[in-house]
Chain A
Amino acid sequence: MSKDVWVVVESLRGEVLENTYTMLAAGRTLADGLGGKLTALLLGSKAEGLAGTLGVADGVTYVDHPALADFTPDAYRRTISALVKEAAPRAVLMGHSSMGMDVASGISIDLGLPLVSACQTLSATAGFVSVTCGGKVLAEGKLPDPACLITLVPGGHKPQDGRKDTAPAVARVQPPVPLDDLKTKLKGYIEPEAGGIDITKESILVSVGRGIGQQDNLKLAEELAAALGGAVSASRPIVDQGWLPTSRLVGKSGKSVKPRLYLALGISGAPEHHEGMSDAECIVAVNTDEKAPILDYAQYGATVDALKLMPALIARVKQAKGG
């Protein structure tokens, strides 16, 4: 049985995505515990330079081909499946993300390998801990043997621990299977709405979720944000309703923010949201549900009604700032 661990690198338009570093941190912990090697699997076209921050891995396996220049499910799945089949590592880590989730299940069927998803923590001895039901339930178990696939969510391992700005030894390999007749092809990218607020640059965010009730109540959040000198951001339900543009979305499908203050109003704090704000310096959460997951990781919390709290805060903040 192999003891090696693989991490499938995720990159978008020439940049390694942060969850890759989370995976490398987890992969390092796992490989060290198993006594095996950690390999980063990088797919791309003229992208060998991306290995420059993957120094936590013992080596990089790099597959170069024009069809791999950008992520597409078909090309990536074929390539990863074939390489995994050949090398049979102990565990393959992929992101629980738009890219990772597109290929992980397919590889599981291709190779008959068990797939454990939404993993937050990995350990050679304790196995995996996965998060489910909006963060309200945890599931743990031993890593299936002799080999398994894992999709990883942030929160259990720190991306800082997975990044080292040196390039390990890079082994360039040929695509193991032909990449012609692909069933999914990239046509292009559409940029997010330009202009307006960039929430990743704000140091204070007043973030609103389902608990805000009606769209009408957004103006209170705007007023509070203005009083504090920050901006309004939101969780998924608000953006899905069209009450705020996607540029304000915090979370897995939105932006990752690291403000000095993240004031979460009426947000339950499910893992997909947590992903986007876990690095905020100070998280203050207001939710009438005392069991809301956000109260498990916020620094401060209150169970008063956010709608009543906002006017009270606005008045006091204005006064504290002198008018």
Chain B
Amino acid sequence: MTSTTTSERTLYNEILEATPHGERLNLCLQCGMCSGICPYGFAMEFPPRSLIAALRAEELTSALDSDLIWLCVSCFACASVCPVQIPLTTSLLTTFKAESMLRGKVPSELQAALENTRRYGNTLGESPRRRPEWASHLSPPVPLMAEAKEPVDVLWFVGDYASYHPRTQVVSRAMARLLRALDVNFGILGPEENSDGDAQLLSGEKGLYEMLVLKNGKAFAKYQFKQVVTTDPHAFNVIKNEYPRAGVTVPIQHYTQFLAERLDQLKPLLHRELNARVAYHDPCALGRANSNNIYDEPRQLLQAIPGLELVEMPHNRANTICCGGGGGGNWLDGFVWEQAHARTSEWRVEEAVRAGAEILAVACPYETPRFEDAVKSTGHQEELIVKDIAELLSEAMRD
């Protein structure tokens, strides 16, 4: 143990102080609800309850020596069911991940994502200059804030995956079409936008998160806009709930909230019939994370599409099954598969098929590629397709 790592008692105190209501760790009843609901709790050596027990017994060493803390995908399930409302995800689990990292234990794929963030401001290791390229062939073009001559109403925070990943770029273009159709005065930051920092914060890299807040905060401060709208629930979650603590406060909505408010304007434009059964997957970051509780607006949008039959899956709303991509999870698939031999995204896909859905509707940029992979790995290519709500709305606008 090097001198830079924390002693047992200090770590306990650090966690207590780390987040608001962290002192609630003292209230833990050891009831085990958290370990029970954790999607990968079965494979962890120290699921949340056991971690607290180890903390209290001042036997952190074995907990910290295990690298299975990285099975936590920051889905907030534990925090949402804890009877004494301990903020387990953001305090206990994140701090343990941070300690693990200080001890040099971080899976290599996640390490690459973090190093890419430091160097390029995005987890994919792409050139920052090419961040707005997803929009380059759109006509009319998507306005860059740097080129806007007047204040805009909406600063659209696009996000890493939505900017660079080929599958999610399609969703971004659909969103651009929707904003145009609604005559929204908007702009994007383009190369001035950096990773939102949600995954970096939740995976324990606080210093990196702080660097991102600083950069994004500077970009926000340069321009005049009424609010931020984002297509990324993780960006929504972190900018709404964490950025203010770091000194950056901007009004922010997830795009489903923004569009739901404008349903009167949007609905007449949706004339193409879909004729399919659609199940909506509630993203953790939009719903149970930090009690964001956005469940109705996405459903309102879907039900506005003619011919769309909305079906519900048993695990919905606050009880949703995580896609496995949060808190750094998007870069831990290899590690998780090796340890757990299970994928939550596959559980979700099976549930959608059993609920009779033909389309799995999502509202998060990680989910389209993740669930499409799961559809293939479970062999349901003929039965289920995955679409973002923005894509479905955009397609409903076509002639």
- Interface residues, chain A, with chain B CB atoms under 8 Å away: 214-216, 241, 288, 305, 307, 311
Sample (7) of A-B pairs whose CB atoms are under 8 Å apart: A214-B333, A214-B334, A216-B334, A216-B337, A241-B108, A305-B166, A305-B167
Residues of chain A lying within 8 A (CB to CB) of residue B331: 214
Q: How far is the CA of A315 from the CA of B215 in the complex (A)?
A: 46
The reply to whether B376 and A311 contact each other, CB–CB distance below 8 Å, is yes
Number of A-B residue pairs, CB cutoff 8 Å, is 15
Judged by a CB distance under 8 angstroms, whether B109 is at the interface is yes
Residue of B nearest to A311 (CB): B376
Residues of chain A lying within 8 A (CB to CB) of residue B167: 305
A61 to chain B, nearest CB (A): 49
Q: How far is the CA of A216 from the CA of B340 in the complex (A)?
A: 13
0 or 1 for each of B317-350: is its CB under 8 Å from A? (1 = yes): 0000000000000010110010000000000000
**Contact for B109 among A214, A288, A305, CB less than 8 A:** A214
Known pairs A215-B334, A216-B334, A305-B166. 12 more at Cβ < 8 A? A214-B109, A214-B331, A214-B333, A214-B334, A215-B109, A216-B333, A216-B337, A241-B108, A288-B166, A305-B167, A307-B373, A311-B376
Q: How far is the CA of A307 from the CA of B376 in the complex (A)?
A: 11
Q: How far is the CA of A216 from the CA of B346 in the complex (A)?
A: 15
Q: How far is the CA of A28 from the CA of B167 in the complex (A)?
A: 52
Residues of chain A lying within 8 A (CB to CB) of residue B333: 214, 216
0 or 1 for each of B152-174: is its CB under 8 Å from A? (1 = yes): 00000000000000110000000
Q: How far is the CA of A301 from the CA of B167 in the complex (A)?
A: 20
B67 to chain A, nearest CB (A): 15
Residue of B nearest to A242 (CB): B108
Residue of A nearest to B108 (CB): A241
Residue of A nearest to B369 (CB): A307
A44 to chain B, nearest CB (A): 42
Residue of A nearest to B331 (CB): A214
Interface set, chain B 188-239, CB cutoff 8 A to A: none
Residue of B nearest to A214 (CB): B334
Q: Which 5 A-B pairs have the closest CB atoms?
A: A215-B334, A216-B334, A216-B333, A214-B334, A311-B376
Residues of chain B lying within 8 A (CB to CB) of residue A288: 166
Residues of chain A lying within 8 A (CB to CB) of residue B108: 241
Residue of A nearest to B372 (CB): A308
Q: How far is the CA of A305 from the CA of B368 in the complex (A)?
A: 15
A209 to chain B, nearest CB (A): 14
Residues of chain B lying within 8 A (CB to CB) of residue A215: 109, 334
Residues of chain A lying within 8 A (CB to CB) of residue B109: 214-215
Interface set, chain B 60-108, CB cutoff 8 A to A: 108
Residues of chain B lying within 8 A (CB to CB) of residue A241: 108
Q: How far is the CA of A214 from the CA of B108 in the complex (A)?
A: 10
B134 to chain A, nearest CB (A): 13
0 or 1 for each of B24-66: is its CB under 8 Å from A? (1 = yes): 0000000000000000000000000000000000000000000
0 or 1 for each of B291-304: is its CB under 8 Å from A? (1 = yes): 00000000000000
A291 to chain B, nearest CB (A): 12
A292 to chain B, nearest CB (A): 14
Q: How far is the CA of A321 from the CA of B25 in the complex (A)?
A: 60
Q: How far is the CA of A311 from the CA of B333 in the complex (A)?
A: 18
A288 to chain B, nearest CB (A): 7
Residues of chain A lying within 8 A (CB to CB) of residue B334: 214-216
B346 to chain A, nearest CB (A): 13
B56 to chain A, nearest CB (A): 36
Residues of chain A lying within 8 A (CB to CB) of residue B373: 307
Q: How far is the CA of A216 from the CA of B109 in the complex (A)?
A: 10
Q: How far is the CA of A289 from the CA of B373 in the complex (A)?
A: 22
Residues of chain B lying within 8 A (CB to CB) of residue A214: 109, 331, 333-334
Q: How far is the CA of A288 from the CA of B134 in the complex (A)?
A: 13
A268 to chain B, nearest CB (A): 13
Q: How far is the CA of A216 from the CA of B376 in the complex (A)?
A: 14
Interface set, chain B 380-397, CB cutoff 8 A to A: none
Residue of B nearest to A315 (CB): B381
Residues of chain A lying within 8 A (CB to CB) of residue B166: 288, 305
Q: How far is the CA of A14 from the CA of B274 in the complex (A)?
A: 71
Q: How far is the CA of A215 from the CA of B331 in the complex (A)?
A: 10
Q: How far is the CA of A215 from the CA of B332 in the complex (A)?
A: 10
Q: How far is the CA of A44 from the CA of B251 in the complex (A)?
A: 76
